[in-house]
């Protein structure tokens, strides 16, 4: 086709609508009549996150706006910076990490592979706007004549993409009307609650286990350090199960005083004890037909463990003060950050209950063992926090993502979320410079508990007793509230008191 005719036709399709995905779909249809072209994508490089964002992609039959973020290792940064040397690149294979990651996303959306690409750098007035990627099935599909045709559309794509992205921003602002805003917030909250960050990267293998067990009725025991997101995985299992439309009831076993555990889990009859002025359904009955999530299950007393075992074995229970046996159909998902096997050996947890809960164990790796997920979490928490504060989304300062990936994150994802929120509070407009409380090199943190050769290990209880005493002294003897020992250790105050009681650590009893 004559280059001038190609240019006029292409401009007509590219600028035919402000809907960015639809414009791509019309354009790729036209391209396919002139050159090998099965897919057309827009790539935005998020240099502060060392990641690629795909806001829109299309084939001749499908138009999508996935807004997908694909993180890369810092060692791949040179690949992301190729635009400073070239205006257009022909990639007739999938050897580079960038091509491989894009390929995985394309295969997920469209079901087949594109083995050849042309990638056009789009700049206007010295500012990088985006990259335009044209893909085709099969290897070695593109040549220099195709690249010349695509390169003639650089300015057209720059204006069209800039206008389309700005149009999308204006539409979102218009949707700030009260009723529309309420509906959008509900939907965003739903997505945030159920989103598993890192499902395709650091948690890829673990999510396979989630998928395997979700459709069964088997009890699940989720294990992991404090702050790794055990509640998120429990929600993911429930939402993928046959009980997804039934009740999903959560209970934090460590936050319930021992005297009220039976009433909370199994309910009580009117007059069962002082203050029981009416019949009350327990968590098991409320979750009938659905799922009960027992967080911090290791904190249950031995007495409560006996009753929990009966429900798991027979599906039967009795309310406190009642004599009627009640049948319940409830799936149990439990979670703990404690070593239940060791608790069984120490007589603190029933062995038969452990075997009932441990039918299908799932271990969540700590954040320090899945550093590739940090850019995804940072992007997620920046957007979530900015939205909650009604602020424009700020950017991360250059080089900060690498600093975050070198930190050991003893508080895991919960600590990362707090660090990002603090950074936004300090500098709402950005650029964000998150601060961690201590700069412990990652490898040092992983090995800091290794004993010197020949040194005899201390019993775990002695180590905990010593550490709790030090933290309590640091907090001035305060357990509950701001800057208390429980907040510093990121545990429930009741849980901390219970553990210190078992270890014989003395503390002020008032205010219990």
Alpha helices in 15-94 (DSSP H): 20-31, 77-80
Give the mean model confidence (pLDDT) for residues 429-450. 61
Residue 407: CATH number of its domain? 1.10.8.60
Q: What is the pLDDT of residues 234-265, one digit of tens each?
A: 999 998 899 988 999 999 988 888 778 888 88
The per-residue pLDDT for 435 is: 87
Q: Residue 175: which pLDDT band, with cuts at 50, 70 and 90?
A: low
Which of 89-103, 156-170, 190-204, 400-414 shows the lowest mean pLDDT across its residues? 190-204
Which of 277-291, 376-390, 471-485 is most confident?
A: 376-390
Q: Domain check: are 167 and 209 in the same one?
A: no
Give the mean model confidence (pLDDT) for residues 86-94. 78
The per-residue pLDDT for 30 is: 95
Element (H, E) at 71: strand 68-71
Q: Domain check: are 152 and 23 in the same one?
A: yes
Give residues with Cβ within 8 angstroms of 443, minimum separation 6.
none
Whole-angstrom CA distances from 280 to 214, 249, 271, 309, 314 are 30, 15, 11, 21, 22
| 187 belongs to a structural domain | no
Q: Domain check: are 342 and 478 in the same one?
A: no
Name the percent of the chain lying above pLDDT 70. Answer: 85
The per-residue pLDDT for 447 is: 45
The per-residue pLDDT for 82 is: 52
pLDDT at 441 exceeding the cut of 50? no
Q: Domain check: are 49 and 100 in the same one?
A: yes
pLDDT at 336 exceeding the cut of 90? yes
Q: Domain check: are 396 and 325 in the same one?
A: no
Q: Domain check: are 215 and 355 in the same one?
A: yes
Bridge partner list, 396: 432
The CA-to-CA distance between both ends of the chain, in Å, stands at: 83
Give the mean model confidence (pLDDT) for residues 373-388. 91
Q: Are 226 and 491 in contact (CB under 8 A)?
A: yes
Q: Domain check: are 353 and 230 in the same one?
A: yes
The per-residue pLDDT for 507 is: 76
Query: Closest Cα to residue 36, out of 120, 112, 149, 155?
Result: 149
| 498 belongs to a structural domain | yes
**What region, left, alpha or beta, does residue 407 occupy, with left being phi > 0 and alpha being psi -120 to 50 degrees?**
beta
The per-residue pLDDT for 143 is: 92
**Angle made by CA atoms 466, 472, 474, in degrees to the nearest 5:** 105
pTM over 0.75: no
Q: What are the φ/ψ torsions at residue 245 (nearest 5 degrees)?
A: -95, 0
Name the percent of the chain lying above pLDDT 90. Answer: 31
Looking at per-residue pLDDT, the higher value among 26 and 470 belongs to 26
Q: What is the pLDDT of residues 395-422, one digit of tens each?
A: 999 888 988 988 888 889 999 999 999 9
Angle between helices 20-31 and 3-14 (to 10 degrees): 160
Give residues with Cβ within 8 angstroms of 407, minimum separation 6.
436, 439, 440, 442
Give the mean model confidence (pLDDT) for residues 83-104. 73
The per-residue pLDDT for 176 is: 55
Q: Domain check: are 348 and 394 in the same one?
A: no
Domain containing residue 399: 367-447
Q: Domain check: are 235 and 311 in the same one?
A: yes
The per-residue pLDDT for 448 is: 43
Residue 61: CATH number of its domain? 3.30.450.40
Tell me the C-alpha distance between 152 and 118, whole Å: 13
Give the mean model confidence (pLDDT) for residues 79-84. 53
Q: Domain check: are 216 and 349 in the same one?
A: yes
Give the mean model confidence (pLDDT) for residues 135-140. 86
Query: Closest Cα to residue 349, out of 362, 334, 360?
Result: 334
Q: What is the pLDDT of residues 50-77, one digit of tens each?
A: 788 888 999 999 998 888 888 877 655 5
The per-residue pLDDT for 213 is: 94
| 469 belongs to a structural domain | yes
| 510 belongs to a structural domain | no
Q: Domain check: are 382 and 302 in the same one?
A: no
The per-residue pLDDT for 442 is: 45
């Amino acid at each position: 086709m004559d280059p001038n005719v190609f240019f006029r036709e292409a401009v007509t399709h590219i600028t035919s609508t402000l809907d960015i995905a639809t414009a791509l779909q019309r354009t790729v249809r036209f391209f396919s009549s002139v050159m090998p072209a099965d897919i057309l994508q827009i790539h935005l490089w998020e240099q502060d996150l060392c990641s690629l964002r795909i806001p829109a992609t299309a084939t001749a039959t499908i138009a999508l706006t996935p807004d997908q973020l694909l993180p890369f290792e810092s060692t791949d940064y040179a690949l992301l910076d190729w635009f400073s040397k070239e205006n257009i690149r022909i990639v007739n294979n999938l050897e580079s990490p960038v091509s491989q990651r894009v390929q995985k996303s394309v295969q997920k959306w469209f079901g087949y592979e594109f083995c050849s690409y042309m990638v056009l750098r789009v700049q206007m007035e010295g500012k990088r706007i985006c990259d335009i990627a044209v893909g085709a099935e099969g290897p070695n599909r593109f040549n220099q004549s195709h690249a010349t045709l695509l390169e003639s559309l650089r300015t057209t794509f720059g204006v069209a993409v800039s206008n389309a992205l700005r149009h999308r921003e204006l539409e979102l602002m218009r949707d700030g009307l009260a009723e529309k805003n309420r509906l959008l917030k509900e939907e965003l909250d739903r997505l945030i609650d159920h989103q598993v960050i890192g499902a395709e990267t650091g948690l890829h293998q673990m999510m396979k286990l989630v998928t395997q067990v979700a459709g069964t009725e088997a009890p699940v025991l989720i294990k992991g350090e404090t702050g790794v997101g055990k509640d998120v995985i429990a929600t993911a299992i429930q939402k993928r199960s046959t009980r997804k439309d039934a009740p999903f009831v959560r209970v934090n076993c460590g936050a319930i005083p021992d005297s009220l555990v039976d009433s909370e889990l199994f309910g009580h009859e009117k007059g069962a004890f002082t203050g029981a002025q009416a019949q009350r359904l327990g968590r098991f009955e409320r979750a009938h037909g659905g799922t009960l999530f027992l967080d911090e299950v290791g904190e249950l007393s031995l007495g409560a463990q006996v009753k929990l075992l009966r429900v798991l074995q027979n599906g039967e229970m009795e309310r406190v003060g009642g004599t009627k046996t009640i049948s319940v159909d409830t799936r149990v998902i439990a979670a703990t950050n404690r070593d239940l096997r060791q608790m069984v050996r120490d007589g603190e947890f029933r062995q038969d209950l452990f075997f009932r809960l441990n039918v299908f164990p799932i271990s969540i790796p700590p954040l320090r063992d899945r550093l590739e997920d940090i850019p995804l979490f940072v992007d997620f928490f920046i957007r979530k926090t900015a939205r909650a504060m009604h602020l424009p989304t700020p950017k991360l300062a250059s080089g900060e993502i690498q600093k975050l990936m070198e930190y050991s994150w003893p508080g895991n994802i919960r600590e990362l979320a707090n660090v990002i929120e603090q950074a936004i509070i300090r500098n709402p407009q950005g650029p964000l410079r998150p601060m961690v409380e201590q700069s412990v090199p990652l490898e040092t943190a992983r090995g800091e508990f290794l004993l010197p050769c020949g040194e005899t290990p201390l019993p775990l209880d002695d180590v905990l007793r010593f550490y709790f005493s030090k933290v309590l002294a640091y907090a001035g003897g305060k357990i509950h509230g701001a800057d208390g020992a429980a907040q510093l250790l990121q545990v429930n105050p009741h849980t901390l008191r219970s553990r210190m009681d078992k270890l014989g650590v003395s503390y002020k009893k008032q205010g219990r």
